[in-house]
Chain A
Amino acid sequence: MAPANDITGDSALHEAPTPMKDKGLQPLVPPRVRTAPHLAPAGKGPAAPGITGCLFVRELVLLLFLLLMFGASSLFIEGFWDWPSLLRRSRYWAATGMVAVPMTFIISTAGIDLSVGSMMALSGITLGLLYNDAHWPIAWAACAAVAVGIAAGAFNGTVISYGRVPPLVATLATMALFRGIAMGLSRARSLKGFPDRFTWLGQGNVLDVFGTRGNGPFVPVSFLVMLGMFAIGGLLLRRTWIGRFAECIGENETAAEFAAIDVRRMKLVLYTACGLACGLAALFHTALYATAKADTARGLELEAIACVVVGGTRISGGRGSMSGALFGLLIIGILRHGLLMAEVKSQYIIICVGLLLIVAAILNERLAARRSEK
């Protein structure tokens, strides 16, 4: 079983959180919880390889599906196979991806954040107002915008963890609240006139991949930053206690509390981190469209949640997958791009994305059910 664990980097998990063992809480943990890798007793239990194997297989399946889609699209859709345009296209996925990173953690805790689009709008409007009306330097305005994102996230976190409001309700409320504040502050205007060195964040490229300097396939700045955020998120989820605690909370919150995890502070930190990611995403998003508007990023929360769920993170909590979320983002993005390219009308594209989500959700639950039977 050791090699299987090494693959997914779960070996760290075998240094199982000692407090619960020390406190002799093992018997209190309901049977289902024992299937979670972090709670599995070290060096024992056939459950562990099953789970890690399961996670790994899922991601492999997603990767194969992605490649298959890529191959099929390239074969059957004229003009799809074009690196420069695919790379250019990736700019539009960046903001959603950046938000999907903390969303993976939050959904792992069986929570949800519906207010991400609104937090992005609020941050974007802050940026626009400070730069346009208050004539702040763009760098300071950007810092302030990120700070507003963090504050908004912290507000969510406080309401959820200390106000004991279920995340769905709390963020549904702040989704309207933050959007409303953004509307009020901007008086429904669109704010524009950002300098080129700022719009470069969203529209610019770095890294000359294929050596066609000046007119071709670079990697968009925003996409690169997003990949960086996924990498950091992946490390935090798989290699540190943060990810283990998050999944633990999602699997069974009461058990997590008994295991001496500070559930409330953990949630506060996660929702605040989500605000931070939204603040950053807002910068790139505003730069991409060179416009800050209060009704920006409408529906982005659903897109981000869709990526996370397609990627194999269970909506009911307990298991997150960062690489899965990245594959989910790419699968949904390429599906939309390919169908548009094939001149499929917009209304049918929504149907396809909806069906994909349902299939992914069913597979997720099936896999989870099989796992707990073992």
Chain B
Amino acid sequence: MKHVFMVSLVAGVLIVTGCKPSSVPSETPSLSAQPALSIAVMPKLIGIDFFEATKRGAEEAAKELRVNLLYDGPTTNDVQQQVQMIETWIASKKYDAIAVAPNDPDAIAPILTEARKVGIKTVAWDADARPDARDWFVNQCTAESVARTLMDVMAEAVGPNARYLIITGSLTAWNQNTWMAEMEKYRQAKYPGMTNLTKDPLATEEDQELATQVTTDCLKRYAELQGIFAITSVALPGAAEAVRSAQAADRVFLTGLSTPNMMKGYVKEGVVKKFVLWNAVDLGYLAVHTAVACIKGDLKPGAASFSAGRLGEVRIRGDEVILGDPIVFDASNIDRFDF
């Protein structure tokens, strides 16, 4: 038995090592003979509306540009799974560019650096990676434009003297904090008459039920309250639920950032009249266009814009490609979107 074991072990090793010289050279010519570019696109996670919409955009762009597209990502928002998948993609030597929406900017950096070492172009989209690890970042919209759009929506509905408060996700979330800082800056410049009723934003930890509770409390506590911003996709429907059950939609104007599918019911009922987000389909579309332009060398740092299919000329700032201003959703346009 011992001998059988050893023999099979040795034989196994011989078989596998013996395969190597014959298979490796035969692969190289077939790869170089293949003209079509291949792009791998990875969302933060698969199976949620937002990233299904970006997938449709990515597929549309891939068809238009005649490139092979792989759209796959982890089943939870786990950066470690993302790193392992990218490792495999690098190993397969099939892809000319990898576009990833990283769950953590720093943890994704080493593997992206390795991808660049073997000549794969790297693009971050939806959220940035550490800038030295990627070639380009496809930014859905700048923090200023998100802040400006939100404040304008509020001013238009309530007037330039609105008394409002902000409901956020977690107090450590980088992008929400940036938006709030920009909102305050814009308020001081454009709407000095507006008042933020709470010094600190109210945290709801990406928990819809908690957002409902917090909003219910606020509606009771602040009699003078006129407007609420709920600036995460989970906080807005949570807050909307509170406004609906308190029947406060006439007294308090609720807006914020969320996806059309989550908000459709509330918009139809008139609980939320307007809210803001970028177009997820266009984001996926632009990510693929950016990756292809990056491989072909059409995208140069320092350029002011580049042409991205049906989106026309897209603005470039430094090494960021900017999708544009966010969309304001209301009852008139919400049915046109599915994400």
A residues touching B (Cβ–Cβ < 8 Å)? 4, 6-7, 53, 56, 60, 63-64, 67, 70-71, 74, 78-79, 81-83, 85-86, 88-89, 92, 187-190, 192, 199, 203, 289-291, 293, 296-299, 336-337, 340-341, 343, 345-347, 350
Q: 9 tightest A-B contacts by CB?
A: A85-B91, A291-B107, A340-B88, A67-B12, A289-B107, A79-B92, A192-B106, A7-B2, A92-B84
Q: What residues on A are CB-neighbors of B2 within 8 Å?
A: 6-7
Contact between B172 and A64 (Cβ–Cβ < 8 Å)?
A: no
Q: Within 8 Å of chain A (Cβ to Cβ): is B269?
A: no
Q: Within 8 Å of chain A (Cβ to Cβ): is B15?
A: yes
Q: Within 8 Å of chain A (Cβ to Cβ): is B175?
A: no
**Interface with A: B75-83, B189-197, B271-279, which one?**
B75-83
Contact between A346 and B107 (Cβ–Cβ < 8 Å)?
A: no
Contact between A346 and B79 (Cβ–Cβ < 8 Å)?
A: no
Contact between A346 and B46 (Cβ–Cβ < 8 Å)?
A: yes
Contact between A298 and B74 (Cβ–Cβ < 8 Å)?
A: no
Contact between A346 and B72 (Cβ–Cβ < 8 Å)?
A: yes
Contact between B91 and A79 (Cβ–Cβ < 8 Å)?
A: yes
- Cβ-neighbour of A346 out of B4, B73, B92 (below 8 A): B73
Residue on A with the closest CB to B85? A340
Distance A291 CA – B9 CA, assembled complex (angstroms): 38
Contact between A290 and B106 (Cβ–Cβ < 8 Å)?
A: yes
- Cβ-neighbour of B27 out of A63, A78, A85, A88 (below 8 A): A78
- Cβ-neighbour of B170 out of A188, A199, A346 (below 8 A): A188
Contact between A298 and B76 (Cβ–Cβ < 8 Å)?
A: yes
Contact between B110 and A203 (Cβ–Cβ < 8 Å)?
A: yes
Q: What residues on B are CB-neighbors of A188 within 8 Å?
A: 170, 172
Q: What residues on A are CB-neighbors of B172 within 8 Å?
A: 187-189
Distance A203 CA – B111 CA, assembled complex (angstroms): 10
Name 7 interchain pairs, CB-CB below 8 A, sorted by A.
Answer: A71-B15, A85-B90, A86-B91, A187-B172, A291-B104, A346-B72, A347-B46
Further 16 A-B residue pairs, CB within 8 A, beyond A92-B84, A291-B79 = A7-B1, A67-B12, A78-B27, A79-B27, A79-B94, A81-B20, A81-B23, A88-B87, A89-B91, A188-B170, A291-B104, A293-B107, A336-B84, A346-B81, A347-B75, A350-B75
Distance A53 CA – B85 CA, assembled complex (angstroms): 39
Distance A202 CA – B56 CA, assembled complex (angstroms): 37
Contact between A4 and B1 (Cβ–Cβ < 8 Å)?
A: yes
Residue on B with the closest CB to A341? B92
Shortest C-beta distance, B32 to chain A (Å), equals 14
B18-36 residues with Cβ-Cβ distance < 8 A to A are 19-20, 23-24, 27
Contact between A341 and B91 (Cβ–Cβ < 8 Å)?
A: yes
Distance A293 CA – B107 CA, assembled complex (angstroms): 9
Contact between A89 and B87 (Cβ–Cβ < 8 Å)?
A: yes
Shortest C-beta distance, A281 to chain B (Å), equals 13
Distance A346 CA – B84 CA, assembled complex (angstroms): 12
Residue on A with the closest CB to B108? A289
Contact between B109 and A290 (Cβ–Cβ < 8 Å)?
A: yes
Contact status of A289 and B79, CB under 8 A, knowing A92-B87, A346-B74: yes
B33-71 residues with Cβ-Cβ distance < 8 A to A are 46-47, 70
> By DSSP majority rule, is chain A's interface helix, strand, loop, or mixed?
helix
Contact between B74 and A291 (Cβ–Cβ < 8 Å)?
A: no
Residue on B with the closest CB to A339? B88
Q: What residues on A are CB-neighbors of B20 within 8 Å?
A: 81, 83
Q: Within 8 Å of chain A (Cβ to Cβ): is B223?
A: no
Shortest C-beta distance, A114 to chain B (Å), equals 18
Q: What residues on A are CB-neighbors of B70 within 8 Å?
A: 343
Shortest C-beta distance, A271 to chain B (Å), equals 25
Q: Within 8 Å of chain A (Cβ to Cβ): is B317?
A: no
Q: What residues on A are CB-neighbors of B90 within 8 Å?
A: 85
**In the complex, which of the residues A70, A79, A190, A337 has the most CB atoms of chain B within 10 Å of its own CB atom?**
A79
Residue on A with the closest CB to B110? A290
Q: Within 8 Å of chain A (Cβ to Cβ): is B333?
A: no
Distance A134 CA – B12 CA, assembled complex (angstroms): 51
Q: Within 8 Å of chain A (Cβ to Cβ): is B332?
A: no
- Cβ-neighbour of B5 out of A60, A71, A81, A190 (below 8 A): A60
Shortest C-beta distance, A62 to chain B (Å), equals 12
Q: Within 8 Å of chain A (Cβ to Cβ): is B93?
A: yes
Distance A204 CA – B53 CA, assembled complex (angstroms): 39
Q: What residues on B are CB-neighbors of A74 within 8 Å?
A: 16, 19, 23
Shortest C-beta distance, A91 to chain B (Å), equals 8
Q: What residues on B are CB-neighbors of A192 within 8 Å?
A: 106
Contact between B8 and A60 (Cβ–Cβ < 8 Å)?
A: yes
Shortest C-beta distance, A125 to chain B (Å), equals 14
Q: What residues on A are CB-neighbors of B85 within 8 Å?
A: 340, 346
Residue on A with the closest CB to B17? A83
**In the complex, which of the residues B79, B88, B94 has the most CB atoms of chain A within 10 Å of its own CB atom?**
B88
B76-135 residues with Cβ-Cβ distance < 8 A to A are 76, 78-81, 83-85, 87-94, 104, 106-107, 109-110
Residue on B with the closest CB to A7? B2
Q: What residues on A are CB-neighbors of B12 within 8 Å?
A: 63, 67, 70
